[in-house]
Amino acid sequence: MPGSSIPSTVIDGLKDKFPAIEVSENLTITVPEAELLSFMRELRDNPDYDFNFLTNLTAVDYPDNFTVIYNLVSFKYGYTLMAKVNLGKDEPAVSSLTSLWGSADWQEREVYDLFGIIFTGRHNLTRILLEDGFAGYPLRKDFQWVGGRE
């Protein structure tokens, strides 16, 4: 039965290649924004990890920063990996991963739609769920709206 968590030897190898990454206790990797694309390309293309499936891409609005979360799966080894990128509160922008995984396309558009995080290096970054003229980004914590019970 394939294991679910990525072995620590692999993590150590990654640390050697990308000294800037931080690994937390539960093996969540925090990547600096500048290295995201090369880090992810390494994860996808290196046959030792072979993370071929970007399963989930989402974001969280923390009080101090935005965090974009990537969940990767390797079908070959059964590894799962959670990677995070912290972004500043003002005009958050991060490299797009559509060149690596097709599944990033709609999920990035969803994050852009609901959080207003810009994904650079891709085309067709438009609202996907809300209509084009919608004001604001609803999943931000400071979003105000009219509505509710009368």
Partner 1 sequence: MDVTREQHPIEKMTNDSSLIQQVKRVIHLAPLEKIFNLARGYSLWPLGFGLACCAIEGLMATNAPRFDLSRFGYEVLRSSPRQADVMLVAGTITNKMAPYVVRLYEQMPEPKWVIAMGSCAISGGPFVDSYYVVPGADKLIPVDVYVPGCSPRPDAVLHAFMMLRDKVQGKVVLENAR
Partner 2 sequence: MLRTEEITLNMGPQHPSTHGVFHVVLKMDHEVITEARPICGYLHRGIEKLAEARTYTQFIPYTDRLDYLAAMLNNTGYVQAVEKLMEIEVPERAEYIRVICCELSRIASHLIAVGTYSVDIGGITGFMYCLRDRERIMDLFEMVCGSRLTLSYMRIGGVAEDLPDEFIPALCQFLDEMPSRLDEYDGLITGNEIFQARTKHVGLLDPGVAINYGISGPNLRASGVFWDLRKNRPYSVYDRFDFEVPLGKRGDCFDRFTCRIKEMRQSLKIIRQAVEQLPEGPVMAKVPKVLKPPAGDVYHEIEGAKGILGYYVVSDGSNKPYRIHVRRPSFINLGFLNELCKGWKIADVVAILGSLDIVLGEVDC
User: What are the structure tokens assigned to 35, written together?
Assistant: 């290295």
Residues 127-146 that bind partner 1 (CB under 8 A): 130-131, 138, 143, 145
106 binds, among partner 1, partner 2, none (CB under 5 to 8 A by kind): partner 2
Q: If binding is defined by CB under 8 A, does position 65 make contact with partner 2?
A: no
The contacts of residue 43 (CB under 8 Å, 6+ apart) are 14, 49, 51, 72, 81, 83
Q: How far apart are CA 130 and CA 76, in angstroms?
A: 37
Q: How far apart are CA 59 and CA 1, in angstroms?
A: 31
Chain contacts with partner 2 (rule: CB under 8 A)? 1-2, 4, 52-56, 58, 60-61, 69, 71, 75, 78, 80, 82, 101-103, 105-107, 110, 114, 127-131, 138-139, 143
User: Which residues sit at the interface with partner 1, rule CB under 8 A?
Assistant: 130-131, 138, 143, 145, 147-150
